[in-house]
Structure 1
Amino acid sequence: MHSHSLDLKAITAEIAAEIAQATDRGRVADYIPALGAISPAHFGMAIVLADGTCHLAGDADVAFSIQSISKVFSLTMALGAVGDAIWKRVGREPSGSAFNSIIQLETERGIPRNPFINAGAIVVCDMLLGRYEPREAIGDMVRFVRSLADDGQSGDGDIVIDEHVARGEAETGFRNMALANYMRAFGNIHHPVEHTLGLYFHQCAIAMSCRQLALAGRYLMAGGRNPATGRSVVSAQRARRINALMLMCGHYDGSGEFAFRVGLPGKSGVGGGILAIAPGVASIAVWSPGLNERGNSQLGTLALERLVRKTGWSIFDPVP
């Protein structure tokens, strides 16, 4: 598992070179025009080690729409705000269905399977609203993500919400509106549906680079602390549990396949990003906009598979 004996600079360069050659790059999400316009030729990768060392490759500093990766940060905030009361309204099991499925909500009376499918993330947003107006809650979330990504040198003020994408989400989000209304009918959405969805659509439209995303994920690698500041973001137990949920549910109905191939807790987004955590070792972000049929980054998954093979970082690898 150790990182100091590995030549990570060479490994990241090798992986980037291999990905650049790939001809089958998956399909870019096009349900929002702003996402459909992104070239599938992009590939970025950032690895941040426990000691703060950064290894970058490709378009590691190009911002992209993090989409569902934001669900990790909103879950973290909700755990801080309401603690374990969250689990009365959201489950902790893999869904096995597509990320935007409504079927289980009927049989399970409006309680979504986990916080990473759309329905679950919408409930988490409803909890975050608390006494806030949506605008305040959105500002809070951006500030939280900026503080996580701050490494004290590169400046994180350029993490913003892509309003163009947020508008596209709101204009095309009929299925998410249906999910929210359906849960409201079961009493599991407490705020006006448009407020809850306003927060949800905006969190999905946060734009970050691989470098910023890998920096933001450090607390999940480091027992809940931000290694740069030493400040606790969540308890060690909660960090472990967020990682467990990422492993089981972070790639929707492709989560088993991702655990099988990569063996790291990870969270994907339809913008083509994946945040992956090697506990105690590294926080890794990859981005390649082309998706596989499950809605996860095709080449991002391949890059992570190559990385764990070359490093032995899979959580299922024996510790040397």
Structure 2
Amino acid sequence: MTDMPDHDRLRKLLEDVVTDVRDAAPGLYEQAVEAAQERGKAPPRKGDFEKFGIAVYTRDGLCVAAGNAGVAFPIQSISKVFALEVALEGLGERVWKRVGREPSGDPFNSIIDLERDKGVPRNPFVNAGALVVCDMLVGLGGRPGPNRHVVKLVEGMLDGETIELNPDVMASDRTGGDLNRSLMFMAKHHGNLDHPVEKVMDAYVHQCAISLDCRGLARAGRFLMHDDAEAEDERGVAAARRARRILAIMMLCGQYDGSGDFAYRVGLPAKSGVGGGILAIAPHRASIAVYSPALDPMGNSWLGTLGLEMLTDRTDWSVFGSVRTRG
């Protein structure tokens, strides 16, 4: 990767990305309408293509933001990244005895793989995998309670700030989560769920309802940069190793069935959420958050993906190497 641009240049770069994304939004909206018609779905809301925010938290601790970066949204499935961090820190490699590390090839809420693989989810970012990880977190116990592990981690990353939980997500997931409950019963049938379904559901709902804006999400994800300079002791080395492994899963599975296309276009490990956010990491460089509520057929933000593609093209940040000479 190229060196970090200076902050003034980065700020101007983000402002240009916002302008260019908004210019491209009408064309993307037309594509989204066509895609919805082909799938027999309701057309997307045009207003959702008018919102776009981006924030970059750099390794030196500065947060640069542009567009609708101050709009809070439920992080939804992005919370699975933080849950995996808690599980790996508490249980280590035992996590992988109950959940796999492979892309699914099926929708994120599909029960097919879970049945085929006898209750072992393909990865921790499909819903079945996230629920099994939540079951592990419930088993960790602790004073914060089983539904507070991820909330506590995120609050810690925000230096103790109290975070809001989106009430609509809390209500809808608790009352309308029949498919997620079905996934848990299937896992339980195969001996891969240790705790009551409703207790695990409560933990899952709490983490999905975490509400952040782009600045907060980029800041919360900074631990995944795992700067080598911070790995000076055994604990630091362990944290860096966990981050590297989480990034690998994000690269392969973070955008569901759109992960390959995202890797091709953006070249960074990332995790999306149906709230319209995406958390992307440029290792040793930056934690990046984007937000736009319009979702593509895979459940990933249309404008968020485009904005990240523009950002990485202009900064030359990619885990696959630099294409421009320095200097």
When the two structures are superposed, what TM-score results if normalisation uses the length of structure 2?
0.87
Corresponding residue of 1:19: 21
- C-alpha contact (below 8 Å) 1:50/1:222 kept by paired residues: no
Change in CA separation of 1:137 and 1:308 when aligned onto 2, cut-off 3 Å: same
SS of residue matched to 1:91: coil
Q: Which letter maps to 1:236? A: A
Q: Which letter maps to 1:156? A: E
Cα separation, 1, equivalents of 2:205 and 2:230? 27
Query: Does 2:101 correspond to 1:92?
Result: yes
Q: Which letter maps to 2:161? A: D
Corresponding residue of 1:156: 161
Kindly provide the CA deviation profile for residues 188-232 of structure 1, in whole angstroms up to 9, marking residues without a partner as x.
0100011111111221111011001101111111249989xxx84
Q: Which letter maps to 1:18? A: D
Corresponding residue of 2:41: none
Q: CA deviation at 1:307?
A: 0.3
Corresponding residue of 1:193: 197
- C-alpha contact (below 8 Å) 1:61/1:209 kept by paired residues: yes
Please say which structure displays the higher CA radius of gyration.
2
Cα separation, 1, equivalents of 2:203 and 2:143? 6
Cα separation, 1, equivalents of 2:298 and 2:149? 31
Kindly provide the CA deviation profile for residues 116-158 of structure 1, in whole angstroms up to 9, marking residues without a partner as x.
11000000000000153998122332121011123xxxx732x
Q: Runs of 4 or more off by more than 4 Å in structure 1?
A: 223-227, 231-234
Query: Does 2:59 correspond to 1:57?
Result: no
Change in CA separation of 1:125 and 1:225 when aligned onto 2, cut-off 3 Å: farther
Change in CA separation of 1:142 and 1:233 when aligned onto 2, cut-off 3 Å: farther
Q: CA deviation at 1:234?
A: 5.2
Kindly provide the CA deviation profile for residues 169-188 of structure 1, in whole angstroms up to 9, marking residues without a partner as x.
12221111110111010010
Cα separation, 2, equivalents of 1:5 and 1:194? 49
Q: Which letter maps to 1:208? A: L
Cα separation, 2, equivalents of 1:5 and 1:308? 15
Q: CA deviation at 1:77?
A: 0.3
- C-alpha contact (below 8 Å) 1:156/1:212 kept by paired residues: no
Q: Percent identity?
A: 50
1:136-215 counterparts in 2 under 5 A?
136-150=145-159, 156-157=161-162, 159-215=163-219
Kindly provide the CA deviation profile for residues 74-114 of structure 1, in whole angstroms up to 9, marking residues without a partner as x.
00001111111000000011111110011111111100000
Cα separation, 1, equivalents of 2:230 and 2:202? 29
Q: Which letter maps to 1:53? A: L
Query: Does 2:117 correspond to 1:108?
Result: yes
Corresponding residue of 1:10: 12
- C-alpha contact (below 8 Å) 2:5/2:315 kept by paired residues: no
Kindly provide the CA deviation profile for residues 242-268 of structure 1, in whole angstroms up to 9, marking residues without a partner as x.
000000000111110110110000000
Gap regions ≥5 residues in structure 2: 34-44
When the two structures are superposed, what TM-score results if normalisation uses the length of structure 1?
0.89
Aligned residues: 305
Corresponding residue of 1:127: 136
SS of residue matched to 2:278: strand
SS of residue matched to 1:137: coil
Gap regions ≥5 residues in structure 1: 28-35
Change in CA separation of 1:131 and 1:314 when aligned onto 2, cut-off 3 Å: closer
Cα separation, 2, equivalents of 1:131 and 1:246? 24
Query: Does 2:269 correspond to 1:268?
Result: no
- C-alpha contact (below 8 Å) 2:48/2:292 kept by paired residues: no
- C-alpha contact (below 8 Å) 2:140/2:146 kept by paired residues: no
- C-alpha contact (below 8 Å) 1:95/1:253 kept by paired residues: yes
- C-alpha contact (below 8 Å) 1:138/1:199 kept by paired residues: yes
Cα separation, 2, equivalents of 1:131 and 1:221? 26
Superposition RMSD in Å:
2.5
- C-alpha contact (below 8 Å) 1:50/1:282 kept by paired residues: yes
